[in-house]
Amino acid sequence: MTLSYPLQSLTAHPPRLSPGYKSTVKRSPTKPLIPMRHTLSELTGPVYGHETVRENDNDLTLQGKGEPLGERIIVHGHVLDEDGRGVPNTLVELWQANACGRYIHVVDQHPAPLDPNFTGAGRTQSDGEGYYRFVTIKPGAYPWGNHHNAWRPAHIHFSVFGHSFVSRLVTQMYFPGDPLFPFDPIFNSVTDEKARNRMVSDFDLENTKPDWALCYRFNIVLRGRNATPMETK
């Protein structure tokens, strides 16, 4: 199957220069990007990485000597292409803050406790139908220096590959109903409301495990659709 990657799909993404998110001002190009046709270099991509996935890498509650503190959750969903087909056997990486909103990264100095039983890193491989599943802890909100009293809504970072190097996606999954949404310039850098809501997971009662963990569903849609005779590369 050969997929095409029309530029049109990119309109869902935030503009690189989003001045409300201050760091973008010095970290976005000032000259227009140069359009080019996709060659094999863009239409292929890494199809490996999953051989590094170990048994418990998709369960972030089992990586320490004991259980991490916080609200245990299941996060699952499908990695899909733009036509809704599952992207099979693709590497899904995630990283996140702990329940207190603290990352183990050395640069994070937010005065909230680290959890010795929680690193916040995970990875898995989607199955033959694009399905993936993680067990983790619900991350806390945390303050950041963008503006006075700035707080990031709780989120989980995702990194996904898909079928080609131009379907590569790094994004953040949010939780439904977060009161911080209206105040977060990163979330709101996505100006289209429908597109923005695709970053918000759905609470999934059907797959919530009784007496054990709430479940959230998060489908990740990557670039790539059937090449049709109407489209020119």
Partner 1 sequence: MSKAQNKPEGVTPSQTVGPYFAYGLTSNGKYDWNDAFSNNLVTADTSGERVRVEGRVFDGDGKPMVDCMLEIWQADAQGRFSDPQDKRALPNSSFKGFGRCGTDADGGYAFDTIKPGTVPDPDGKPQAPHLVLAVFARGMLLHLYTRIYFDGEAANAADPVLALVPIDRRATLIAQRANCNPSAVYRLDVHLQGDDETVFFDV
Q: Which of 102, 155, 163, 223 is catalytic?
A: 155
Active site residue 48: no
Active site residue 142: yes
Least Å from the CB of residue 181 to partner 1: 13
Q: Under a CB-based contact definition with an 8 Å cutoff, are residues 145 and 22 in contact? A: no
| Residue (71 or 191) nearer to partner 1, CB | 191
Q: Under a CB-based contact definition with an 8 Å cutoff, are residues 86 and 76 in contact? A: no
Q: Which of 142, 174, 216, 223 is catalytic?
A: 142
Active site residue 148: no
Least Å from the CB of residue 26 to partner 1: 4
Q: Which of 103, 132, 174, 216 is catalytic?
A: 103
| Residue (170 or 211) nearer to partner 1, CB | 170
Least Å from the CB of residue 144 to partner 1: 9
Of 137, 156, 155, give the one whose Cα is nearest residue 92: 156
Q: CA–CA separation, 230 vs 233, rounded Å?
A: 10
| Residue (103 or 216) nearer to partner 1, CB | 103
Q: Which of 38, 110, 133, 157 is catalytic?
A: 157
Active site residue 147: no
What is the side-by-side strand order in the sheet with 121-125? 121-125, 91-96, 155-160, 169-174
| Residue (66 or 84) nearer to partner 1, CB | 84
**For the purposes of burial, counting CB atoms within 10 Å of the CB of 19, is it exposed (0-12), middle (13-18) or buried (19 or more)?**
exposed
| Residue in the structure block whose two tokens are 């990557």 | 222
Active site residue 103: yes
Cβ-based neighbours of 120, under 8 Å, separated by 6 or more: 60, 95, 96, 97, 98, 103, 104, 139
Least Å from the CB of residue 211 to partner 1: 20
Could you give the residue numbers annotated as active site? 103, 142, 152, 155, 157
